[in-house]
Amino acid sequence: MENKLTLSLPISVVSPTDVARLVREVDNLDEFFRQSEIRYGGTLQSPPRYSRLLDELVVTNKMNLLQKDDRVGLLTMLHELAKSAPILHISFSVDPPGPYVQKIVGWLRQNIHESILVRVGLQPNIGAGCVVRTSNKSFDFSLRRFFDSKHDFFMEKLHEVVSPEFDEQPAVKEEVAIVADEQPVGVALA
C-alpha cells in the first residue's frame, strides 16, 4: 500500500492494459540485466527497447532502471497497482483519441484517485457524452439520458402536434412542421 502511494502515474498510463504492458517491459528489462550478470564479458547483447510509457513513468518517479532496487521496486509497485488500482469504465459514442482520454484521466487522478485507471469502451447508440461505470454503479452522461430526462417536454410537444385541433387544420399543421424542420437543433430542443 505504501509503494502504491509513492508511485506517481503519468497521464499517458491510462488503462490496466498499459500497466500490464509496463509490467512486462520492466520484467523483460530486469531479465536482461539478470542475464547480463551471468554472461561473459564482451558478449553482444541487444537490450530491450523502452516504450514511451515506461520512459514517462520512470521520469515521473525519478527512477533509474539500471539500478536493481529501482527495477524491483517499480515492478512490485506495478503489480500492486494492477491488483488494487480503482478502475473506471468509460464508454463513448465514437472511439476517442488518446489525448482526449488523457485529459479525462488527468482530471480523475486530480479529483477522484491518484492512481485511477480507465477502460475505454464504445457505445454508438448513446449519441453524445459518455457512460461511466464503476464497480458498483453506472453514471449516464449521454445525450440519450439527457433526452430521457426531457421526456415530459417531448410528450407535451408531441401531444400539441397530434392534438385534434391540428387534425382539423392540416394546412396549418404542415406549415408548423416545415418551420420546425428549418429550426436549428439547439433551438428546437430548447
Partner 1 sequence: MTLSVLLILLGSIVVVAGVVLWLLLRSPKSAKSAKSNPINDLSKQAEVDVEHIFNDDFREELRNRGRLHFEKIIGENAMFLQQDLRLTTSQLNDFMKNEVTRVLKEEFAKYEESINDAKQLAIDSIQKTQDTIEQQRELLSAQLTEQMTAEKSRTMARFEGRMADVVNHYVLEAVGDQIDLSEQLDFILSQLEMNKEAIMRDIKDGA
Residues between 64 and 103 that touch partner 1 (CB under 8 A): 84, 86, 88, 92-94, 96-97, 100, 103
Site membership for partner 1, residue 183 (CB under 8 A): no
Cα distance between residue 111 and residue 40, in whole Å = 51
Residues between 157 and 176 that touch partner 1 (CB under 8 A): 158
Site membership for partner 1, residue 5 (CB under 8 A): no
Site membership for partner 1, residue 47 (CB under 8 A): no
**Of 54 and 130, which CB lies nearer to partner 1 in the complex structure?**
130
Q: How far is the CB of 26 from partner 1 (least distance, A)?
A: 24
**Of 63 and 87, which CB lies nearer to partner 1 in the complex structure?**
87
Site membership for partner 1, residue 110 (CB under 8 A): no
Phi and psi based region of residue 135 (left: phi greater than 0; alpha: psi -120 to 50; beta: remaining) = alpha
**Of 59 and 143, which CB lies nearer to partner 1 in the complex structure?**
143
**Of 53 and 90, which CB lies nearer to partner 1 in the complex structure?**
90
- DSSP labels for the chain? -HHHHH----TT--SHHHHHHHHHHHHHHHHHHHHHHHSPTT----PPPPPHHHHHHHHHTT--TTSHHHHHHHHHHHHHHHHH--EEEEEESS---HHHHHHHHHHHHHHT-TT-EEEEEE-GGG-SEEEEE-SS-EEEEEHHHHHHHTHHHHHHHHHHHTSHHHHH-HHHHHHHHHHHHHS-HHHHH-
Residues between 113 and 142 that touch partner 1 (CB under 8 A): 113, 116, 125-130, 132, 134-137, 139, 141
Chain residues that interact with partner 1, rule: CB under 8 A: 84, 86, 88, 92-94, 96-97, 100, 103-104, 107-108, 111-113, 116, 125-130, 132, 134-137, 139, 141, 143-145, 147-148, 150-151, 154-155, 158, 185
